[in-house]
Amino acid sequence: MDPFLEPGVLVRHPDRADWGLGQVQSVIGHRVTVNFEDAGKQTVDANRVRLVFVGDDPRGGQ
């Protein structure tokens, strides 16, 4: 699984561009819950789908 997957990072689903930008909410094992702009909360199996890293949440205080 990708090491960047942690709560707060921004991602896109490689096969669902229509879902828009997503923010990782939680990571439990290989199950990643992401809140997408146009699809709401979705649980993604990180063993089957490689989410595309977009960046850290700019509100994170960096």
Three-state secondary structure readout of 3-45: CCCCCCEEEECCCCHHHCCEEEEEEECCEEEEEECCCEEEEEE
Establish if 31 belongs to a structural domain: yes
Domain annotation covers residue 3: no
**Residue range of the domain that includes 38:** 9-55
Quick: pLDDT tens for 1-28.
Answer: 677 899 999 999 999 999 999 999 999 9
pLDDT of 61 > 60? The answer is no
Res 58: pLDDT: 64
Q: Count of domains in the chain? A: 1
Q: What is the pLDDT of residue 62?
A: 44
| 39 pLDDT tier (thresholds 50, 70, 90) | very high
In a domain, 61, yes or no: no
Kindly state whether residue 49 falls inside one of the protein's structural domains: yes
Identify whether 22 is part of a domain: yes
pLDDT of residue 3: 76
Entry pTM: 0.86
